[in-house]
Amino acid sequence: MFSGTFTALITPFKNGEVDVEALEALVEFQISGGVSGLVPCGTTGESPTLSEAEDRIVIETVVRVSAGRVPVIAGTGSNSTDMAIKYTKMAEGVGADGSLQVSPYYNKPTQDGLYAHFTTVAENTDLPVVIYNIPGRTGVTVEPETMARLAEIPNIVATKDSTLSMASAAETKRLSGEDFDLLSGDDPVTLPIIALGGTGAVAVASNIAPRAYSEMVNAALGGDFARARELHYDLLRLFGALSTETNPIPVKTAASILGLCSDEMRLPMQPMSGENLDRLRRDLEELSHLLPTPEEVR
């Protein structure tokens, strides 16, 4: 169901509020750059710091501006099952095409608890559900066997795999079957995951390099792994440049340098400074062939 490059959108801020105008421009920039879909209100969108009203503003804006040209998978997960259901119903009501459900963080449920959480959310929406498996942030892993059980639920259709384990991703794909989409959740492993049978990525770097990232993914999905590898190695330094500090600090700073939005963030996130900022500027200059021209940004 979900194939290609899905950009995990940054959330632009201005004077402490969501910058709707900048968000509208970001959506247009992404679609013109050839991405396959958009994922607002995820980790990269600083979702832990957004209020319920801001979540609605962001999702509504992305749905409105994309206007059906690409699917919108809204981040509506929570470590409270009731809140996850509430946010998912909100996203469904404003026209989202899917829901990204992160594993409950901090409470660290058992595998049976994870299964019960995700199935309860899925039972309360008609949206296709993508399970976001990111143990480095949540403290809990959805094991391949549990993912396979979840794949039997009709509207649980995919996983965003951020385990950084190719063995786990492969086992998830093997157990869950061909009809269950495996999406990379970490840019450096997108190509390997597609080689394992994955269908694309929920990507960070595509915020600033949508065209190059989409070309890599599309080449791999089309079976042209020689071209995909060439692009992967070209993008690899960009992936590294965007991981010098915690996501989304570097990518939002890079977007600001390129003129896509401001670098304003919500505490506890702070804009880059000092040596890391200087390094990022140098990297962006040297990688300009992967990045949009000033005309494309405007």
Catalytic residue among 115, 160, 173, 252: 160
Query: Do the beta carbons of residue 95 and residue 110 sit within 8 Å?
Result: no
Is-catalytic flag, 14? no
Exposure on the CB side of residue 230, measured as CA atoms within 13 A: 7
Cα distances (angstroms) measured from residue 74 to each of 59, 91, 94, 227, 298: 7, 7, 10, 31, 26
Catalytic residue among 86, 89, 105, 132: 132
Beta strands in the chain (DSSP E): 4-8, 13-14, 17-18, 37-39, 73-75, 98-102, 129-133, 156-161, 181-184, 200-203
Query: Do the beta carbons of residue 40 and residue 5 sit within 8 Å?
Result: no
Which CB contacts under 8 angstroms, 24+ apart, belong to 274-278? Answer: 276/244, 276/245, 276/250, 277/253
- The residues that are catalytic are 132, 160
